[in-house]
């Protein structure tokens, strides 16, 4: 065996070659990679879960059928494009979006009726300390119940809107399918509300910033099955570089809903589901996923 001297070059490693550095994780880009559908050959986003042309299921084999994770590259969005896409999705799925949103709001309001009536009857004129204590305990219990019912229905509505935006088949019954995500969403909603409230008390602007940074946290829970409160760190990653456009979306949504309220409040029944769809569509676009084309 001959050992090369110090002045002799070592043998070239056959397994070593110059490779380009891997792209940075989570890097923002303005364009989205597209691939051909294996069934019809139509062009779809690489992260698409279903072909928009033929409806072929493009989810990875063996994946979780109930939850589709976001695998696309993070993308910058335009508020106008999101609003236009949401409008088309809304018109295509008018019945489930409209009825689902109406039922969620109706049931959320109905469940608050007991807390408005029963504690007052128990406390009476407030002269009986025992009655007051029992009434307050009942009030807190009914408030907790109202919050839980509302959170359960809201996360179910997110699933309905997500299906609509992906071009799947949303059903009104989807609003009752949030059990799997309820606890995580309820805890995250409480934390979000606290952070938002503190931000608004401090100087309003921090509250707005919190709303923009965590804008899609509910959809991160549903679409990516995020664990614990990971939805917040993931939301920050997704919204980085999109905060201004998200703020524009929030302003547009507030303006549209205000017009609905001014139309004898009846218009809000039609405007609310549209503005809620903004978040679903924005989430899909920011994570490089396919939004159905109508």
Query: How many Å apart are CA 286 and CA 47, to the nearest integer?
Result: 12
Please state the length of the chain: 294
> How far is it, in rounded angstroms, from Cα 144 to Cα 135?
14
Structural contact between residues 226 and 234, judged by C-beta atoms closer than 8 angstroms:
yes
Assigned domain for 98 exists = yes
Q: Is residue 49 included in any domain, yes or no? A: no
* Separation of CA 215 from chain center: 7
Q: How far apart are alpha carbons 152 and 189 in whole angstroms?
A: 11
pLDDT for residue 54 is more than 70? no
Element (H, E) at 163: helix 129-166
What are the start-end ranges of the E strands in the chain? 34-36, 43-45
Distance CA 105, CA 149 (A): 11
- Predicted TM-score (pTM) of this structure: 0.76
- What secondary structure letter does DSSP report for 221? H
The answer on pLDDT for 29 being more than 50 is: no
Residue 5 has pLDDT above 70, yes or no: no
Distance from C-alpha of 231 to C-alpha of 219, rounded to nearest angstrom: 9
Q: How many domains does the chain have?
A: 1
Instruction: Give the pLDDT confidence score for residue 293 in this predicted structure.
Output: 82
CB 282 within 8 A of CB 77: yes
- Residue with more model confidence, 6 or 147: 147
pLDDT per residue as tens digits for the range 123-182: 877 788 888 899 899 999 999 999 999 999 999 999 999 999 999 999 999 999 999 999
d(CA 285, CA 291): 7
* Mean pLDDT for the chain overall: 85
Which candidate, 91, 156, 31, places its Cα nearest to that of 292?
Answer: 91
- The answer as to whether 199 is a domain residue is yes
38 part of a folded domain:
no
- Given a cut of 90, whether residue 112 has pLDDT beyond it is yes
Q: Kindly state whether residue 125 falls inside one of the protein's structural domains.
A: yes
- Quote the domain boundaries for residue 241: 78-286
Q: Answer whether residue 69 is part of any domain.
A: no
Domain presence at residue 67: no
Higher pLDDT: 40 or 278? It is: 278
Residue 70 domain-assigned? no
Measured distance CA(45)–CA(130) in Å, rounded: 64
């Amino acid at each position: 065996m001959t050992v090369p001297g110090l002045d002799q070059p070592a043998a070239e490693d056959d397994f070593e070659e110059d490779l380009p550095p891997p792209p940075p994780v989570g890097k923002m880009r303005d364009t989205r990679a597209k691939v051909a559908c294996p069934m019809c050959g139509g062009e779809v986003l690489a992260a698409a879960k279903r072909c928009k042309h033929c409806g072929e299921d493009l989810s990875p084999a063996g994946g979780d059928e109930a939850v589709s994770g976001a695998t696309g590259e993070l993308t910058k969005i335009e508020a106008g494009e999101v609003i236009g896409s949401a409008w088309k999705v809304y018109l295509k799925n008018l019945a489930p979006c409209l009825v689902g949103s109406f039922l969620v709001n109706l049931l959320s309001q109905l469940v608050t009726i007991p807390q408005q009536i029963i504690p007052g009857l128990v406390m009476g004129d407030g002269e009986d300390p025992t009655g007051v204590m029992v009434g307050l305990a009942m009030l807190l219990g009914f408030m907790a119940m109202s919050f839980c019912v509302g959170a359960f229905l809201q996360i179910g509505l997110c699933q309905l809107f997500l299906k609509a935006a992906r071009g799947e088949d949303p059903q009104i019954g989807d609003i009752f399918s949030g059990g799997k995500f309820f606890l995580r969403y309820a805890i995250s909603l409480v934390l979000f509300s606290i952070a938002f409230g503190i931000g608004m008390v401090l100087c309003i602007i921090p509250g707005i910033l919190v709303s923009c940074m965590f804008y899609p946290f509910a959809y991160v829970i549903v679409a990516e099955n995020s664990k614990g409160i990971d939805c917040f760190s993931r939301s920050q990653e997704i919204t980085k570089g999109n905060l201004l456009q998200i703020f524009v979306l929030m302003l547009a949504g507030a303006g549209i809903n205000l017009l609905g309220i001014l139309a004898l409040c009846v218009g809000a029944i039609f405007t609310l589901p549209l503005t809620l769809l903004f978040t679903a569509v924005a989430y899909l676009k920011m994570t490089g996923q396919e939004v159905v084309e109508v």
